[in-house]
Structure 1
Amino acid sequence: MTGNTKPGKTKHGAAAGETARPERADWTIDQGWDSYTAEEHGVWKTLYERQAKLLPGRTCQEFVSGMADLAFPTDRIPDFRRLSDVLMQRTGWQVVAVPGLVPDEVFFDHLANRRFPAGHFIRKPEELDYLEEPDVFHDVFGHVPLLLQPAFADYMQAYGEGGLRAQKLGVLPNLARVYWYTVEFGLIRAPEGMRIYGAGIASSFTETRFSLDSPSPNRIRFDLARVMRTQYRIDDFQETYFVIDSFDELLRLSEVDFGPVYEAVKGQPDHDPGDVLESDEVLTRGTGEYHAAKRQAA
């Protein structure tokens, strides 16, 4: 796996026993910034420097602006309190530390109340390109810059509210795919060309290049019902990326009643990650060569 999300999971979805339950009911913990070691700060520095060199011209302008406004330190892990001060002034969000993946209901409640739960730990030096569970680099570098963008910030809050409803309706897998293909692995058609906004891409050195440069994946216009029926890759690069035209599109999506959409996709067969349908608006028809070679070698 080349992204920084746990196989089979988005940021939420921890099964019982995966992470020890903390004392607080909302699973938040103190970041413990003073406890980070020089080696841990060094890992952040290495990750930050190589992504900062790679991302210009690849990420959307909103992401670039968010990074600048947050003034991420280049040589040390950011202090969540400082990040929250900036976020609160702009969009009313804050970053809270959690020990790792959290239960769905906890994750949704945080988002619904404009709190982004971020893992407080950072990967080991030997895990720069592969990590099963989201760490502080994925969560902060990948997710937090766009929380300064009002439409995206509102979309994230609406997703939290929608998640609580989806749990009650028993359709959480369908909604999780929307998160995966937007917040984690979304692309956007900016005026200057195709750009990255998904955190799983922006925080991954290898998938940053694959998502935009490789001829292998499909790049398909985002459609809500289509995405809800589409499985995703949890072990490798994505076979398909779904593309929005603007963050206002996500804001409009947050205002949609998903109930009828859930009913429409209920009982319908899933699409495989690399499927291209006649109804798709295909922006780039991928060759599929990367995943075909992997399957042949298996």
Structure 2
Amino acid sequence: MADAIMERPEGAAADWTIPQQWDRYSAADHATWDHLFARQSAMLADRVVPQFMAGLDILRMDQPGIPDFDALSERLMKATGWQVVAVPGLVPDALFFDHLANRRFVAGRFIRTPDQIDYLQEPDIFHDVFGHVPLLANPAFADFMQAYGQGGLRADGLGAIARLARLYWYTVEFGLIRQDDGLRLYGAGIVSSYGESRFALDDPSPNRLGFDLKRLMRTQYKIDDYQQSYFVIDSFEDLLRQTVETDFAPLYAELEGQPDLATDAVLPTDRVFTHGTQAHARAITS
């Protein structure tokens, strides 16, 4: 998501989509993708939610090289009716929501350089496609993403995008899920990051708290470091249910009069899986 007022890049369509131009990727670009894919898929096998690994298999994303969006979309359409479209970078909020509401996932087409292997500020094709797309092959998560887009279009008219953005951040980007064998990863910002894939589950620093929609939408977040708190859903079906069944307009009105919560806050009413030490955050700021 991005600021509402942005100038459309030259060459982009009215909906800000552009051709992927797959044939323009260099051998080095494909090698970077293959390196990242091999490293992440091997490390995630016993950490990520099984539906993610199933998505990699359904979409045949283990084939060498950067995926061709046309072929990827053909497989994804058969699974859940979604497609992947290329954009030049961040897009205006209203367009972002409209794409999601119509089961189109926008993805940047550029790939990071070797010196950016472990971190870059703007999401690249590895974050967008490896991180996000496998779960779009799961029906419940695919329906949640569409419902989120529809909710975003309504939030845009209510001046509540900042609140709704926190739901996306703490679920789609940095969400954890509770399984019978413990917590697992599913957020794209985690699964596409080698460091955060370990930190989010193993490190004693962050809080790991049960998902609560109202509480989550009051919580600030960090964009330039590992998260100080992660929220844990019970299932994709439950996340979808809460999103579809909630009347967000009165919720936004109620939250308007309440103060934001700090990124490291733990409330007496929280369902706490881990009360973090916050040692990582303190080391960064000291």
Q: Report the TM-score when normalising by structure 2.
A: 0.97
Residue number among 266, 270, 290 corresponding to 2:280 in the alignment: 290
Q: What percent identity do the matched residue pairs reach?
A: 58
Is the contact between residue 48 and residue 184 of structure 2 (CA under 8 Å) also seen in structure 1?
Answer: yes
Indicate conservation of the 8 Å contact 2:9/2:16, yes or no.
Answer: no
Query: Take 2:238 and 2:143, find their aligned partners in 1: how far apart are those partners?
Result: 12
Q: Which residue of 1 aligns with 2:233?
A: 244
Return the match for 2:271 from 263, 269, 281.
281
Is the contact made by 1:21 and 1:27 (CA closer than 8 Å) also made in structure 2? Answer: no
Aligned counterpart in structure 1 of residue 199 of structure 2, from 207, 210, 215: 210
Match of 2:255 in 1: 265
SS in 2 for 1:102: coil
Give me the CA root mean square deviation: 1.3
Deviations 1:130-178 (A, max 9, x none): 1111111000000000001111101100111111111110011000000
Q: Say whether 1:114 aligns with 2:114.
A: no
Decide whether aligned partners of structure 1 residues 83 and 231 sit closer, same or farther in structure 2, where only a CA change above 3 A counts: same
Structure 2: runs of 5 or more not aligned: none
| Partner Cα distance (2:7, 2:193) in 1 | 24
User: Which position in structure 1 is the counterpart of 2:33?
Assistant: 44
What is the TM-score with the length of structure 1 in the denominator?
0.93
Structure 2 residue corresponding to 1:76, chosen from 65, 89, 113: 65
Distance 1:196 1:23 in 2: 34
Partner of 1:6: none
Give the structure 2 partner of residue 91 of structure 1.
80
Q: Distance in 2 between matches of 1:213 and 1:21?
A: 44
Matched pairs, number: 285
Aligned CA distance change for structure 1 residues 175 and 21 (closer, same or farther; 3 Å): farther
- Counterpart for residue 4 of structure 1: none
Moved more, 71-80 or 23-32: 71-80
Q: Distance in 2 between matches of 1:122 and 1:139?
A: 10
The Cα of 1:251 is off from its aligned counterpart by 1.2
Instruction: Verify the 8 A CA contact 1:99 1:120 in the aligned structure 2.
Output: yes
Aligned: 1:145 with 2:95: no
Contact 1:218 1:274 in 2 (8 A): yes
Q: Are 1:151 and 1:251, in contact at CA under 8 Å, matched by a contact in 2?
A: yes
Counterparts of 1:23 and 1:54, CA distance in 2: 37
Deviation at 1:79, TM superposition (A): 0.5
Structure 1: segments with no counterpart, 5+ residues:
1-11
- Tell whether the 8 Å contact from 1:174 to 1:228 is kept in structure 2 after alignment: yes
Q: Which amino acid aligns with 2:265?
A: D
**Equivalent pair of 2:8/2:16 in contact (CA under 8 Å):** no
Q: Tell me the equivalent position of 1:55.
A: 44
Given that 1:49 and 1:74 are in contact with CA atoms closer than 8 Å, whether structure 2 keeps it comes out as no
User: 1:272-294 CA distances to partner (integer Å, 9 max, x unpaired)?
Assistant: 10010111111111111111111
Distance 1:203 1:184 in 2: 10
- Give the Cα separation in 2 of the matches to 1:19 and 1:57: 42
Contact 1:19–1:100, Cα closer than 8 Å, also in 2: no
SS at match of 2:85: strand
- 2-side partners of 1:271 and 1:19: how far apart? 35
- Work out whether residues 205 and 278 of structure 2, in 8 Å CA contact, stay in contact via their aligned partners in 1: yes
Amino acid at match of 1:263: A
Greater relative contact order (CA < 8 Å, ≥ 6 in sequence): 1
- Equivalents in 1 of 2:150, 2:107: separation in Å? 18
